[in-house]
Amino acid sequence: MTPKVRFAPSPTGLLHVGNARTALINWLFAKASGGHFLLRFDDTDPDRSSAAYATAIEEDLRWAGLDWDSLARQSERLAAYQSTFERLQADGRVYPCYETPEELDYKRKRLLARGRPPIYDRAALGVSEAERRRLDAEGRKPHWRFLLEAGTVSWDDLVRGRVELQADRMSDPVVVRADGTFLYMLPSTIDDVDLAVTHVIRGEDHVANAAVQIQMFQALGVEPPVFAHLPLLTDSAGKGLSKRLGSMTVRSLRDDGIEPMTLNGYLARLGTGEPQTPISSLEDLAADFDIARFGRATPKFDTDQIERLNAQLLHASDYDAIAAKLDGMGLVRADRTFWEAIRLNLHRLSDATYWHDVCFGAIVPIVDDPDFIRSAAMLLPAEPWGETTWETWTRLVKEESGRSGKALFQPLRLALTGREHGPELRVLLPLIGRATAERRLASSGPQPAAALAATETTR
Q: Which of 10, 389, 394, 455 binds ligand GLU (CB under 6 A)?
A: 10
Determine which helix (DSSP H) or strand (DSSP E) holds 422, and give its type and residue range. Answer: none
Residue with smaller CB distance to ligand GLU, 220 or 334: 220
Closest CA to 229 of 298, 153, 303, 282: 298
Q: Are 188 and 161 in contact (CB under 8 A)?
A: no
- Work out whether 42 is an interface residue with ligand GLU (CB under 6 A): yes
Distance of closest approach, residue 93 Cβ to ligand GLU, in angstroms: 20
Distance of closest approach, residue 25 Cβ to ligand GLU, in angstroms: 12
Distance of closest approach, residue 195 Cβ to ligand GLU, in angstroms: 12
DSSP category for residue 136: H
Distance of closest approach, residue 49 Cβ to ligand GLU, in angstroms: 10
Residue with smaller CB distance to ligand GLU, 42 or 172: 42
At position 70, the amino acid (one-letter code) is S
Q: Are 226 and 198 in contact (CB under 8 A)?
A: yes
198-217 residues in contact with ligand GLU (CB under 6 A) are 202, 206
Quote the CA–CA distance of 260 and 285 in Å, as a whole number: 13
Contact map string, positions 150 to 189, toward ligand GLU, x by CB under 6 A: --------------------------------------x-
Rg for the chain, CA atoms, rounded: 32
Residue with smaller CB distance to ligand GLU, 196 or 408: 196
At position 288, the amino acid (one-letter code) is D
Quote the CA–CA distance of 348 and 197 in Å, as a whole number: 39
Q: Are 227 and 158 in contact (CB under 8 A)?
A: yes
- Work out whether 21 is an interface residue with ligand GLU (CB under 6 A): no
- Work out whether 417 is an interface residue with ligand GLU (CB under 6 A): no
- Work out whether 249 is an interface residue with ligand GLU (CB under 6 A): no
- Work out whether 74 is an interface residue with ligand GLU (CB under 6 A): no
- Work out whether 26 is an interface residue with ligand GLU (CB under 6 A): no
Where does 91-206 have alpha helices with state H? 101-113, 129-137, 185-194
Distance of closest approach, residue 6 Cβ to ligand GLU, in angstroms: 7
74 contacts: CB under 8 Å, gap ≥ 6: 40, 41, 42, 43, 44, 81, 187, 191
| Beta strand 234-235 pairing with 300-301 | parallel
| Beta strand 36-41 pairing with 4-7 | parallel
Residue with smaller CB distance to ligand GLU, 241 or 358: 241
- Work out whether 77 is an interface residue with ligand GLU (CB under 6 A): no
- Work out whether 16 is an interface residue with ligand GLU (CB under 6 A): no
- Residues interacting with ligand GLU, by CB under 6 A? 8-10, 42, 188, 202, 206
